[in-house]
Amino acid sequence: MGKKDRSIQPAIVTLRDIPGTRVMFWAVESCPYCGETHLHLAGNLRSADPSDSLGEQPAPCDPTRPYVLTLAPRPQRNKKGKKGRRRKAWDEEEW
């Protein structure tokens, strides 16, 4: 039998708040260990910076196994510019 994989896994999170309260949570939609949804306290809506609570956290399903709370990567920008957005047929038209 091989060794168990004990590397720290990333967990993609989204910021959520509870309606009617000032509490914010980081929601892990799919835990890398059990596949369930987990919540991690992010702080108060008025006074806390939620990004301070990103980073390594113990997984609620198995506190001995930590994961890293990370934001989803931003989509790539379209860097074509004005010429790239022009229709190709317009450029190839013969006069």
pLDDT in tens, 17-71: 888 888 999 999 999 999 999 999 998 888 878 888 899 999 999 899 999 999 9
Return the SS3 of 23.
strand
From start to end of the chain, where are the E strands?
Answer: 9-17, 23-28, 38-44, 55-59, 62-71
What is the reported pTM? 0.68
Token code pair at residue 25: 């949570």
How confident is the model over 5-23, as pLDDT tens digits? 568 889 999 999 888 888 9
Alpha-carbon distance of 16 to 67, in angstroms, equals 19
What radius of gyration, in Å, describes the C-alpha atoms of the chain? Answer: 22
Token code pair at residue 46: 């008025």
